[in-house]
Amino acid sequence: MRALFLFFLIATSALSLQTAPENEKPYVWPLTINNGISSTFQEFRSNHFHAGIDLRTFRQTGFPVLAVAAGVIERISMSDRGYGRSLHLRHTDGRYSLYGHLEKFREDIEAQVTQVQKKRGKKYFGTWTLPVPLAVRRGEVIAFSGESGSGFPHLHLEIRNQFGQAINPLSLIGNLHPDEHEPLLKGILLRSRGPSLINDDCGEFYFKLRNNGMLYTLAEPLTVTGPFDLSLHAIDLSDVGHVVAPYSLQAFLDGAPVFQVDFDRLTRDDNNQLGMLYDMAYSTSGAYFINLSYQSGFDLEKTRVRLAERLRQMSPGPHQIKIIVKDRQQNQALALIPLRMVIGNDSSRLQKKYPVRKTDSGIMQRTEFSTYVNQDDVVIKIKDLPVPATMLKLKIIQGDREQVVAAHEYAGGSYFCFKPLNHDPRLQLRFELSDGQQRVEESQKTLHPVLLIKEFAQVVRFHDFVAEFGSTSVLESKVLLFEQVDLKAEFPLLAGPIKLGPDHFAFLDAVFFKFKIPAGEVRREQLGIFKYSFESKKWHYIATQPDYDPGYMKCRVLTAGIFALLRDIDPPAIIFQKPESRHLQSLKRLVVHVSDRGKGIDERTVAVFLNGQIVDAEYDPDWKHILIKDLKHLQRGKNRLLVRANDHGGNKSEKTYTFSIK
């Protein structure tokens, strides 16, 4: 009994040591000002989770940055990208904090920075460990806020534990400013699974949520015949009303928990779950579509309940999904989503009536076909075909296998649902219309599917396009469809465009896309793989490199979409901004806007000459401008400013600007 008591005492003490700092919230706000939070922990980024919080600084620089807790400054970093000037502070509790995008460090550290710059002969020398760590107290000034590295003026705060896990800073800071804004729920995105129907249709559907006081409900009734995937469109508002991501989400089906995520901590490997948590087709930094469905490898989700399986087991009749969304200060929003499960014969449920008529020749050729894919199911929809589903059948032929698929009915026509039979990249569809006794008409269609399964690597070729899928690209069976599409591009099109769908498909790891280089191409530095954005209606460059096969260019990808090999032939655009003052004594800087719509500015080539003398200037890709503060060669009267810049395609620009100063 005594041994058991001692074990309990030791275990309780260990637990209190682990949780007490978080419960007591021993850290302090890292700025002497409060302009609110612009980004929270675990927010969506295009290829990773945000591992800290971003604090607004009135779009200005130079505010004192404070140590969030006592500790020692161990190292600093000087980079022109990423976190820019950053500082690492090791705390007495074993955690460490990182402060990014600083304008400058405190004076004793700045003196050491100057020495290292002289010794290494470069301004941005990377990471440097202080010979003697500097002890600091909680709340002591350690640096000043800035806009170095990536982004506009702000402070990035990141806290990690001794295991390297990122911890939500809002869980540790005790003097947070009050936040009275509850999360806002915009709508839900449903994708049918298998042959299921959602309001008598199959595919992807968005339903708006309306706010009745503190409760969100659907603006229209919801009827389903089977399982579906669910994404919640939600945002939170920070203490100053800025759009950020919520902190926690819970979902319940008929009172039973089916989903829970709390944005508490992250490891670097958790970035592979980005496409599991966020819908990759619609999520942006500021618009969050959060998948409320568990799948294999989704370790951030706590219930391990598969929503689709629970929905598949539901009995006919009324049911309810409850969703609770909270921010870190426990403001919450509640949504109650009533739905009705209907099971039965498609025709009797839809109560369709068809005219008594003979099937006319050519009706199948005039019919509109569309394809919908979710998980490993393929759905072919036939719209406005005025015949019952009993008169239709589909034979799928893939490699040496074939299968006959029965038709179902939905409100707009008929549809077929099937899974690929094997890994053959060519799948033939043969639609047959019969009058019950004999075949009346036939139509054919070809699909190019890729069946991805766990621990199976494969290479797929489609025209001049090659996709390499590693064995860790998926953890559950998924289907992708390849399709050649017709899209215009602002640059010469060399290969593609190739569409891979569905758009929300996210890979876990090790996926490369390659395009064959046309014969005779000599300026290969101009070539790049671009992805089309439906939101901006533009092509965006993806980091591209020559493949080990010299006839191809390749890139690494995280999501499906539309891709093409383009040649960037446009030089950068250089536009001079009018001087902020015409007086020599009051002019503090010159600004030149430099942009490129292709492969981007090669910052190594940016050069600025003022009155024939080269001056110190840096290109900021976020603002897309060169900020010139080195004005020692400025003179009264006429001045001549010359700017040179190349893009990564080797296209060159040079422009001169003449102006007068009093």
CB 225 within 8 Å of CB 408? no
User: Which domains are present in the chain?
Assistant: 21-171 (2.70.70.10), 184-341 (no CATH), 346-353+364-451 (2.60.40.10), 453-567 (2.60.220.30), 573-661 (2.60.40.10)
Residue 549's nearest CA partner among 420, 641, 461, 611 is: 461
Strands across the sheet with 527-533, in order? 401-406, 392-398, 427-434, 439-452, 478-484, 493-501, 561-567, 527-533, 538-542
3-state secondary structure of 474: coil
- Convert the pLDDT of each residue in 3-46 to its tens digit: 433 333 333 333 333 333 444 688 999 999 999 999 999 999 98
Consecutive H or E run containing 230: strand 228-237
* DSSP code at position 572: P
Residue 616 phi/psi, 5-degree rounding, is -75, 120
Tokens of 598: 């292709």
**Interatomic CA distance for residues 458 and 478, integer angstroms:** 13
d(CA 84, CA 510): 29
Q: Which of 294, 340, 349 is nearest to 314 (CA)?
A: 340
Distance in Å from the first CA to the final CA of the chain: 91
Cis peptide before 355 (omega within 30 of 0): no
Confidence grade of residue 439 (pLDDT, cut at 50, 70, 90): confident
Kindly report, residue by residue over 285-325, the tens digit of the pLDDT: 889 999 999 999 999 999 999 999 999 999 999 999 999 99
Greater confidence (427 vs 521) lies with 427
**474 vs 558: CA distance, rounded Å:** 11
pLDDT digits (tens, 9 = 90+) for 475-497: 999 999 999 999 999 999 999 89
- For 240-296, the pLDDT digits (tens) are 999 999 999 999 999 999 999 999 999 988 999 999 999 999 998 889 999 999 999
Q: Which pair of structure tokens corresponds to residue 188?
A: 């839900």
Residues 88, 73 contacting (CB under 8 angstroms): yes
What's the CA gap between 87 and 142, in Å, rounded?
9
pLDDT of residue 18: 38
- pTM tops 0.85, yes or no: yes
pLDDT band at 359 (very low <50, low <70, confident <90, very high): low
